[in-house]
Structure 1
Amino acid sequence: MRRTLLIALCLFSLSAQADNLLSLYQRALLASPELKGSQYAVDIAKAQEDQSLGRLLPQAALTGNYSGNALKYETRNGKTYPGTRAGLNIRQPLFDLQAYLLMRSQESKTAQGEDALTAAHQKLIYDLVDRYVDALEAADKSEIIAAELESTEKQLARVKAMSERQMALVTDLYELQARVETLRTNLIESKNDANIALEKLRELTGDAVTGIQPVRLDTAQPAPEGNADTWVEQVSRANPDISALKHAIESADKSISAYEAGHLPRLELQASGNYSDVSFNNQESPPYTVGTIGVEATIPIFEGGITSARVREAEGRKGLSTSQLDQKQRELEKYTRAAYLDMATAQARSLATDRQLEANEKAKLAMEKGYELGVVTIVDLLNAQKQLSESRKIQRQSRYRYFKSRSLLMMEAGQLDVEELAKLNDWLVSDPSLVITATPITASDETPKPNKAAEQPQKTSNVEPPKSSVKQTTKTDEPKSVVKTENNNVPSSVLNNKPITNTASAISFSNKPVNNTQPIASIPENKPANNTVVKPIPTTEIKPVELNPENNNAVKPNAITETKPVNTIEPAPITDTAKPETLENPV
C-alpha cells in the first residue's frame, strides 16, 4: 500500500507547477522524523512480540567438549589420554501460561504501535494543511495591508496638494501621515510573518519552500453528512489515538493475568542425546551414547516478591491508560463537535462575509465622496478604509477556516488520508502567475523620512507675534480674548490671596461675537487679517482689595482692581455692585 501511495504522489507531483498540498506531502512523507520515529516504534514492538513468542517454541542446544586427562595411581604408573563429549538438548514448553499471556500482551502493544503510526501519518497531513493555510493567510494579510497602504498614500498625496492651496486642514494631513507610517510598519511585520509561515513548512518538508498555490475564493463548501452525534460515534470507533489507548488497556490487562500466572507450575518436554568416551569423572572408558527423554516440572515457591510487584505495575499501567482514554475521548468529542459546527455553518459564513465586503466597499466610496464634500472627517475615511481591509481579511479567513475544520474532522474520524488530501488540493489555483512566494524585506520597506517643509503650514510675513508676556493673540473682526499675565512682578502674598478666586473673569473685553477665529500662524501671506495689528498688552501687577469698614456689604470676593499700564496698582474703589470691569478692545 505504501508503494501505491508513493506512486500516486509522484503522478500528482508531475503536473504541479508550484508547491501544493500533494507535492509538499510527498516531501514531508520522506523527511518527517516524527513519522520515522513512529515506524521504529512499530519495529521495536514487533521484535518484542517475536521474543515473547520464542519462549513458547522449542529450544535446542548442541554442546561439545574435548579434554586432556592425566591418570595417576599410587602403586603403578599412570597415563594420559584425551576425552571427548558431545550432546544435543531439546526443550519444548508444554504448559507455561505466563509466557503465553505475555505474548498476547505484546501483540496488543504491537497493535498499539501501528495505531500510533496511523495517527502520526494523519497528524502529518493535518499539520501540513494547517501550516499551508497559515502561510496563505499571512500572505493575504500582507497583500491586504499593501493595498490599504497604496490607497492611503494616494489620499495623502491628494490632501497634501489640497493643503498647499489652503483647501485642507493640517490635522487631516497629520492623520493621514500617521496612518501611512502605521501601515508601513504593519506591512513589514506582515511580510516577516509570511516568511516565518513558509519556514514552518520547511520544518515538515526538510528543505526550503519557495512558493505555494492559493485557494480559489469560489470554492464550494459542502456541509458534512449526518449530525454531530454521528461523527462522535465514528470518532470513538475509528480514531487511531483512541484505538491505540484501547490496545494499551488490553495489553496491561493481559500483563496482569500473565504476572499472576507466575505462581503456577511450568512443564517442559526435554530430550537429549549424549556421546562420550570418558566416564562421569573423566576416567577412560569405551565410547558410549546415551539418549534421554522426559518431562520437567517447575513450581515457583518464592522469588523475593518480584511477581507481586509486576502485578502492581501492570495494574498501574492499566489505570493510567484508562484515564488517558477517558481524557482523549472528551477532548476529541469537543474538537469533533466544533469542527462539525464550523463546516455546517461554513457556507452561510462565506455568504455573510461576501455581503460584508460588498457593503464595506460601498461605505468606503461613500466616505470618499463625503470627504470631498466636507461632511465627514479624514478619520471617518480612514476608519472606512480599515474596515474594508478587515472585511477582505475575514472573507478569506472564512475559506481557510473551512479547510482547517474539514481536515480536523476527517482526522478525528480516522479518514484523513491521501485521497482526502487530493480533494483539498483540487481547490487550489494552479495559475503560475498567482503563486505566493517569500517576500524579502528590503530597505525600500523602511519608513521614509517625512517632508517637513511640505507638512508644516505656511507662516505669514506681515503679522509678527508680540514679544511680550501676552500669550493669546487672535485674528478676529472684533477680537475677544483673555489676557494672561506673567507673575514676575506679582508678590507671593497676592498670588496666595484666597478671596480672589475667579481671576479668569476679572479682566475681560467687550462681549461681542467672534468670527473666523484661527491662529495667526496659519494665515497665508496673501490674506492679511483685516489689516489688524496685534499690540502687546503691558504687564500689570495686582494688589488685593482693601475692606471698607463702613460698608461691609459692598465687598464681594470676586471684586478686583482695574489694571493700568504701570508697575504699581492702587486699590480700586469698592461699590455696591462689585462687577468685573469691562475694557475696550486694546487692539
Structure 2
Amino acid sequence: GILFSAAQAYMNVIRDRQVAVLTEQNLQFLTETARAARSRFEVGEGTRTDVAQADASRAAAVASLSAARAQALASAALYRQIVGDEPGKLKGASPVAKLLPSRLAAAVGVASNEHPAILATQHLVDAAAFSVKSAEGALLPQLSASAGVSSAYRNTSPLPGVGSQDGTTNSASVGATLTIPIYSGGRTSAIVRQNKESLSQARIQVDVSRDQVRQAVTAAWTEYTAAQQQLTANRQVIEAAKLALNGVIEERNVGQRTTLDVLNAQATVITAQINQAGYEHDVVVASYAILQATGRLSVDRLGLQVAKYKPEEHYNAVKDKWYGLRTPDGR
C-alpha cells in the first residue's frame, strides 16, 4: 500500500543519509591516517608499504562516498515520487510497537479477522452463492400477469344510405402467462454447474488468501524480531570495535602495530556503524510491514493529519443522478 511505501521511502532516506555521513567521516579518518603514514615514512619510522596501504584505503573510501551520496539522492527522488514533497530534514523514526500485537499468534489471528484481502474473498463467496441461486431460478416456473384498459372515440361523417357507428368504445383486458421450462438443450443446467464450480473456486480462494496473509505476517514478524536482536547485538560490536581501534592506534604509535592493523580496525568500526543504520531502518520498516500484513496499516490507526478518502461521499453524490457529466467536485 501507499502508506507502507511512504514509510519505507522515509526510512530509506534516513538510512542512506546516515551512511553517507559515516562514509565521509571514514574518508576524513583515512585521509589523516594516510598523512600520518607519509609523515612517519619521511622521518624513517614507517615504510613505503604503509603509505601505499593508507593511500589505497583512502581511494576506496572516496569511491564509497560517491556511491553513498548517489544512493542518498536516489532515495530522496523515490521519496519525492511517493510522498510528493522533497524530503528536507527528516526526523528520526521509531517502530510502531504500541500498535503491534503482543505475539505472533495474536498477529495471525488479527489478520485472519481483519485483513481486507480475506474479507474481499469472503464477499466473493457470497456473490458466487447468489449466482448459483439465480441460475437455479431459471429452472423454476415463471408466472407473469398483465392488465390493460383502453378507450377509443370515433366520429365520422355519415354517407347517404350508410349507417354510422360513431361514439366511445371502452375495453379492458386481463391476462396471465405461466411458463414452465421443459427443455433448454442443457444450457441452464450447464450454467448452474458452472456457477457451482465458481462458488467452490471462491471458497478455495478464501483459504489461499488466509495462507498468503499468514505467511506475510509470519515473515514480517520474524524480520522484526531479528532486526531488534541484530540492533542490540550490533551496539556492542560498535563499542568493542571503537575500543579496539583506539588500542591499535596507541600500539601503532609505539611500534607494536602497523598501519594495516589500524586500517583493518577502522574498517571494522565503519562497517558496524553502517550496519547499525541498516538495522535501525529494518526495525522500523518491519514494524510497518506487520501492520500492513495484519490489515491495520491505515490513516486512522496511525493518527495522520491528512484528508481521508471516503468512497461513500462520492457514491451519495451521484447515486440519484439520472443524467449529467460533471463529477461531484465540479469537473
TM-score (normalised: structure 1): 0.45
The CA deviation at 1:176 is 1.8
Equivalent residue in structure 2 for 1:408, among 266, 286, 289: 289
What's the CA shift string for 1:89-126, capped at 9, x where partnerless? xxxxxxxxxxxxxxxxxxxxxxxxxxxxxxxxxx2211
Structure 2 CA distance for partners of 1:352 and 1:261, relative to 1, 3 Å:
same
The CA deviation at 1:347 is 5.5
1:367 aligns with 2:243: no
2:14 corresponds to: 136
Q: Any idea what SS the aligned residue of 1:300 has? A: coil
The CA deviation at 1:155 is 0.9
Alignment of 1:548-567 (within 5 A): none
What's the CA shift string for 1:155-190, capped at 9, x where partnerless? 112212222233222122222222222222222222
Aligned residues: 294
Instruction: Tell me, in whole angstroms, the C-alpha distance in 1 between the residues paired with 2:74 and 2:168.
Output: 83
1:146 aligns with 2:24: yes
1:261 corresponds to: 137
Structure 2 CA distance for partners of 1:249 and 1:223, relative to 1, 3 Å:
closer
Structure 2 CA distance for partners of 1:145 and 1:373, relative to 1, 3 Å:
same
Instruction: Tell me, in whole angstroms, the C-alpha distance in 1 between the residues paired with 2:86 and 2:49.
Output: 45
The CA deviation at 1:248 is 1.4
Q: Any idea what SS the aligned residue of 2:177 has? A: strand
Instruction: Tell me, in whole angstroms, the C-alpha distance in 1 between the residues paired with 2:194 and 2:68.
Output: 53
Alignment of 1:438-477 (within 5 A): none
Alignment of 1:232-381 (within 5 A): 232-276=108-152, 286-343=167-224, 349-381=230-262
What's the CA shift string for 1:339-367, capped at 9, x where partnerless? 33455566554433322221111112112
Give the AA of the match of 1:209: E
Structure 2 CA distance for partners of 1:195 and 1:286, relative to 1, 3 Å:
farther
Instruction: Tell me, in whole angstroms, the C-alpha distance in 2 between the residues paired with 1:309 and 1:159.
Output: 87
Do the aligned partners of 2:96 and 2:287 also contact (CA within 8 Å) in 1? no
Give the AA of the match of 1:150: Q
Do the aligned partners of 1:245 and 1:325 also contact (CA within 8 Å) in 2? yes
Do the aligned partners of 2:96 and 2:284 also contact (CA within 8 Å) in 1? no
The CA deviation at 1:312 is 4.2
Instruction: Tell me, in whole angstroms, the C-alpha distance in 2 between the residues paired with 1:317 and 1:212.
Output: 53
Give the AA of the match of 2:120: A
Give the AA of the match of 1:227: R
- Gaps of at least 5 residues in structure 2 are 155-164, 305-331
Instruction: Tell me, in whole angstroms, the C-alpha distance in 2 between the residues paired with 1:297 and 1:315.
Output: 28
Give the AA of the match of 1:155: T
Do the aligned partners of 1:223 and 1:346 also contact (CA within 8 Å) in 2? no
Select the structure of larger CA radius of gyration.
Answer: 1
Instruction: Tell me, in whole angstroms, the C-alpha distance in 1 between the residues paired with 2:192 and 2:30.
Output: 73
2:47 corresponds to: 169
Do the aligned partners of 1:266 and 1:299 also contact (CA within 8 Å) in 2? yes
Q: Any idea what SS the aligned residue of 1:203 has? A: helix
What's the CA shift string for 1:268-307, capped at 9, x where partnerless? 34333444558xxxxx975544444444333334445443
Instruction: Tell me, in whole angstroms, the C-alpha distance in 2 between the residues paired with 1:402 and 1:273.
Output: 78
Do the aligned partners of 2:22 and 2:270 also contact (CA within 8 Å) in 1? yes
The CA deviation at 1:240 is 0.8
Identical positions, percent: 19
Alignment of 1:40-55 (within 5 A): none
What's the CA shift string for 1:68-89, capped at 9, x where partnerless? xxxxxxxxxxxxxxxxxxxxxx
1:215 corresponds to: 92
Do the aligned partners of 1:232 and 1:336 also contact (CA within 8 Å) in 2? yes
Instruction: Tell me, in whole angstroms, the C-alpha distance in 1 between the residues paired with 2:294 and 2:96.
Output: 22
What's the CA shift string for 1:511-561, capped at 9, x where partnerless? xxxxxxxxxxxxxxxxxxxxxxxxxxxxxxxxxxxxxxxxxxxxxxxxxxx
1:155 aligns with 2:16: no
More helix by share: 2
Equivalent residue in structure 2 for 1:399, among 269, 277, 280: 280
Equivalent residue in structure 1 for 2:2, among 124, 142, 145: 124
Instruction: Tell me, in whole angstroms, the C-alpha distance in 2 between the residues paired with 1:288 and 1:258.
Output: 44
What's the CA shift string for 1:363-390, capped at 9, x where partnerless? 1211222222232233322222122122
Alignment of 1:46-65 (within 5 A): none
Instruction: Tell me, in whole angstroms, the C-alpha distance in 2 between the residues paired with 1:356 and 1:329.
Output: 40
1:201 aligns with 2:82: no
The CA deviation at 1:152 is 0.9
RMSD: 3.0
Structure 2 CA distance for partners of 1:244 and 1:216, relative to 1, 3 Å:
closer
Instruction: Tell me, in whole angstroms, the C-alpha distance in 1 between the residues paired with 2:12 and 2:198.
Output: 39
Quick check: 346-355 or 185-194, which moved more? 346-355
Give the AA of the match of 2:124: A
Structure 2 CA distance for partners of 1:130 and 1:270, relative to 1, 3 Å:
farther
Instruction: Tell me, in whole angstroms, the C-alpha distance in 1 between the residues paired with 2:301 and 2:263.
Output: 43
1:226 aligns with 2:107: no
Which structure has more RCO (C-alpha within 8 Å, separation ≥ 6)?
A: 2
The CA deviation at 1:238 is 0.8
Q: Any idea what SS the aligned residue of 2:143 has? A: strand
TM-score (normalised: structure 2): 0.76
The CA deviation at 1:242 is 0.9
Do the aligned partners of 1:221 and 1:346 also contact (CA within 8 Å) in 2? no
Give the AA of the match of 1:268: S
- Gaps of at least 5 residues in structure 1 are 1-122, 279-283, 424-587
Instruction: Tell me, in whole angstroms, the C-alpha distance in 1 between the residues paired with 2:144 and 2:277.
Output: 72
Instruction: Tell me, in whole angstroms, the C-alpha distance in 2 between the residues paired with 1:272 and 1:383.
Output: 101
Instruction: Tell me, in whole angstroms, the C-alpha distance in 2 between the residues paired with 1:201 and 1:292.
Output: 73
The CA deviation at 1:237 is 0.7
Do the aligned partners of 1:245 and 1:321 also contact (CA within 8 Å) in 2? yes
